[in-house]
């Protein structure tokens, strides 16, 4: 028997804006003449890493570029100093938690949970939480809280935690759960109040045993702050750091995203390898062949020359919706400053052709649609069955018997693009060869790099989110008059 395992695929994702040029709204020549500025934006993006490391930050400037080479650094450390590496620690804790509990509750908001949700929905079984533990490969269920102040949603999760599927007592593995608390600042109210609530619930669930509580709580936070202090008081054996220089919405490849991903069985090494592959393309490929810079250039020109201030990410798989929502947050918080910045909007197609399609086809000409297409499904294609003995051809589908779901989706994508093109509605395509850890790693890194590079192109600091403070202050004035 051969011991050589086939190497999993590492095909690159592709960006194709040709249908945008075909509208005549912007041209290939226009994009080519933007090349020097795009190159400059790339240089600035990469130079920021050195500026950050050498402390050359300008007065008052927020600078968080350490996410850029993070995948490369994590992989290099893992390969050279395995037991001491951060990735090894993440994988060890993931294994410990995986073997101890059947559900993990992630508390976090914004950048502290949206990347995890994107990874979970893209890379796990679409009904992971509904499957019995055996069919989940012994991996826990994953639930999210602390991203809202929704009384009934929180009560609903408490119901689930109180009544485990097995109906067993606290020593029953299927009844046990753990808490991952994620907050870089450690002080965000939504997450902090949920932390109190779920800590109190967990404390009761472990029979008020402080040692067991500590083992089932894993904080992921900045070096100091209230959550770090709380972790110390509880005595949590594992606490993960969100490194300086990595902002919340850029933290998906820190323990913020990697720990829960590893717990539910996502191959985090392949995720990081995908991200590192995108880094190489960003650094090395000439502007004209660089997916990050081409994407930035087209989005920028479409906004400046076609008035496309709304950027629709049209995801052609339900599994990519949470990636889109993560990107909505990334783009909004990074570039929505100084009364500038395009408005991102995620859709799931074909679902939303039946809710938004009308407007995209005939509404204001203020949209650039970027399709997020998937080359091949992960599972065997489903084919349309014949109707069987209980009816004739009343649904008039007999001529499609044997047609595969991916073929029908491809027809929908080509047909939608054709209809938009006929009305000069600009569409571009990002194509993932398939949805797996490697392509998702590439995609998330591509979108983070693009966001920062666009910020440098247009002179908006992509890091920090000063505007979010206003609501917090107004809210706290009401809570603590
Ligand atoms: O991108 C960001 O920095 C924000 O979206 C934060 O992630 C979000 O506000 C949560 O902050 P914290 O992790 O400090 O609780």
User: How confident is the model over 144-162, as pLDDT tens digits?
Assistant: 999 999 999 999 999 999 9
- Looking at residue 211, the DSSP 8-state letter turns out to be H
Cα–ligand 1 centroid distance for 250 (angstroms): 10
Cα–ligand 1 centroid distance for 243 (angstroms): 13
Cα–ligand 1 centroid distance for 361 (angstroms): 35
Give the separation between CA 166 and CA 169, rounded to whole angstroms: 9
Cα–ligand 1 centroid distance for 126 (angstroms): 27
Q: Which atom of ligand 1 is nearest to the CA of 182?
A: 13
Confidence at residue 424, expressed as pLDDT on a 0 to 100 scale: 97
Residue 334 CB less than 6 A away from ligand 1: no
Confidence at residue 135, expressed as pLDDT on a 0 to 100 scale: 97
Residue of 118, 185, 242, 455 with the most ligand 1 atoms within 8 Å of its CB, for mutation: 185
Residue 183 CB less than 6 A away from ligand 1: yes
Contact 356, 384 (CB under 8 A): no
Residue 112 CB less than 6 A away from ligand 1: yes
Looking at the chain, the whole-number percentage of residues with pLDDT higher than 90 is 93
The first and second tokens of residue 205, run together, are: 């669930």
Residue 369: pLDDT over 80: yes
Sign, Cα dihedral of 270, 275, 278, 280:
negative
Q: How confident is the model at residue 172 (pLDDT cuts 50, 70, 90)?
A: confident
Average confidence (pLDDT) over 55-81 = 96
The model's pLDDT over 321-367, given as tens digits with 9 standing for 90+, comes to: 999 999 999 999 999 999 999 999 999 999 999 999 999 999 999 99
Question: In which element (H, E) is residue 328 found?
Answer: helix 321-335
Q: What is the CATH number of domain 70-269?
A: 3.40.50.10490
Residue 185 CB less than 6 A away from ligand 1: yes
Cα–ligand 1 centroid distance for 39 (angstroms): 30
Residue 184 CB less than 6 A away from ligand 1: yes
Q: How confident is the model at residue 169 (pLDDT cuts 50, 70, 90)?
A: low
Confidence at residue 164, expressed as pLDDT on a 0 to 100 scale: 63
Cβ-Cβ contacts under 8 Å for 196 (sequence gap 6 or more): none
Average confidence (pLDDT) over 223-235 = 97
Q: In this structure, which topology does domain 14-57+270-461 adopt according to CATH?
A: Rossmann fold (3.40.50)
Residue 85: pLDDT over 80: yes
Q: Where in the chain is the domain with CATH 3.40.50.10490?
A: 14-57+270-461, 70-269
Confidence at residue 381, expressed as pLDDT on a 0 to 100 scale: 97
Confidence at residue 82, expressed as pLDDT on a 0 to 100 scale: 84
Average confidence (pLDDT) over 221-239 = 97
User: Please, what's the b/e burial string for 145-155 (b: 16 or more CB within 10 A of its CB; e: otherwise)?
Assistant: bbbeeeeeebe
Residue 140: pLDDT over 70: yes
The model's pLDDT over 233-288, given as tens digits with 9 standing for 90+, comes to: 999 999 999 999 999 999 999 999 999 999 999 999 999 999 999 999 999 999 99
Confidence at residue 4, expressed as pLDDT on a 0 to 100 scale: 72
Confidence at residue 469, expressed as pLDDT on a 0 to 100 scale: 87
Residue 163: pLDDT over 80: no
The number of C-alpha atoms within 13 Å of 339 and in the hemisphere containing its C-beta is: 0
Q: Which atom of ligand 1 is nearest to the CA of 111?
A: 7
Longest dimension (CA), the chain: 76
Q: How confident is the model at residue 383 (pLDDT cuts 50, 70, 90)?
A: very high
Q: Which residues are catalytic?
A: 333, 354, 472
Q: Which atom of ligand 1 is nearest to the CA of 191?
A: 15
Contact 177, 105 (CB under 8 A): yes
**∠ CA 367-461-454, rounded to 5°:** 40
- Mean pLDDT over the full length of the chain: 96
Cα–ligand 1 centroid distance for 463 (angstroms): 12
Confidence at residue 168, expressed as pLDDT on a 0 to 100 scale: 62
The neighbouring-strand residues paired with 183 are 221
Confidence at residue 6, expressed as pLDDT on a 0 to 100 scale: 76
Residue 86 CB less than 6 A away from ligand 1: no
Residue 165: pLDDT over 60: no
**∠ CA 150-152-156, rounded to 5°:** 120
Residue 333 CB less than 6 A away from ligand 1: yes
Residue 191 CB less than 6 A away from ligand 1: yes
Sheet holding 240-241, edge to edge: 141-145, 103-107, 177-183, 217-221, 240-241
Residue 109 CB less than 6 A away from ligand 1: yes
Residue nearest to atom 12 of ligand 1 (CA): 183
């Amino acid at each position: 028997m051969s011991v050589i395992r086939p190497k999993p695929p590492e095909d690159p994702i592709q960006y194709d804006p040709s249908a945008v040029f075909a509208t005549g709204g912007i041209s290939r020549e226009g994009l080519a003449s933007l090349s020097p500025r795009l190159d400059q934006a790339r240089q600035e993006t990469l130079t920021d890493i050195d500026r950050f490391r050498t402390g050359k930050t300008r007065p008052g400037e927020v600078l968080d570029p350490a996410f850029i080479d993070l995948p490369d650094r994590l992989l290099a450390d893992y390969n050279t100093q395995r037991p001491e590496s951060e990735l090894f620690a993440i994988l060890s804790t993931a294994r410990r938690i995986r073997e101890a509990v059947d559900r993990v509750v992630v508390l976090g908001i914004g950048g502290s949970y949206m990347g995890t949700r994107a990874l979970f929905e893209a890379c796990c079984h679409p009904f992971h939480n509904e499957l019995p533990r055996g069919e989940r490969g012994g991996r826990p269920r994953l639930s999210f809280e602390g991203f809202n102040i929704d009384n009934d949603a929180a009560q609903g999760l408490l119901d689930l935690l109180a009544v485990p599927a097995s109906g067993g007592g606290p020593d029953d593995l299927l009844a046990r759960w753990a808490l991952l608390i994620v907050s870089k600042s450690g002080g965000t109210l939504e997450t902090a109040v949920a932390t109190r609530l779920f800590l109190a619930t967990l404390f009761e669930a472990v029979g008020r045993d402080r040692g067991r509580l500590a083992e089932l709580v894993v904080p992921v936070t900045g070096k100091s702050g209230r959550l770090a202090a709380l972790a110390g008081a509880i005595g949590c054996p594992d606490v993960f750091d969100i490194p300086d220089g990595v902002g919340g919405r850029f933290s998906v490849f820190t323990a913020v995203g990697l720990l829960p991903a590893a717990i539910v069985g996502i191959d985090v090494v392949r995720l990081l390898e995908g991200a590192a592959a995108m880094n190489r393309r960003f650094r090395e490929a000439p502007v004209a062949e660089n997916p990050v810079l081409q994407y930035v250039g087209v989005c920028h020109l479409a906004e400046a020359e076609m008035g496309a201030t709304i950027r629709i990410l049209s995801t052609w798989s339900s599994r990519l919706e949470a990636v889109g929502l993560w990107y909505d947050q990334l783009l909004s918080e990074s570039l929505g400053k100084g009364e500038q910045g395009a408005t991102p909007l995620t859709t799931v197609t074909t679902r939303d052709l039946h809710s938004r399609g009308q407007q995209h086809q005939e509404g204001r000409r203020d949209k650039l649609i970027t399709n997020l297409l998937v080359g091949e499904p992960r599972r065997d294609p489903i084919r349309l069955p014949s109707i069987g003995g209980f009816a004739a051809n009343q649904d008039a589908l007999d001529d499609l018997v044997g047609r595969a779901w991916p073929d029908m989706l491809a027809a929908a994508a080509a047909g939608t693009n054709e209809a938009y093109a006929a009305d000069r509605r600009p569409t571009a395509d990002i194509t993932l060869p398939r949805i797996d850890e490697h392509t998702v790693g590439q995609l998330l890194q591509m979108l983070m790099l693009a966001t920062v590079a666009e910020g440098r192109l247009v002179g908006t600091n992509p890091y920090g989110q000063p505007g979010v403070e206003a609501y917090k202050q107004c809210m706290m004035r009401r809570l603590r008059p």
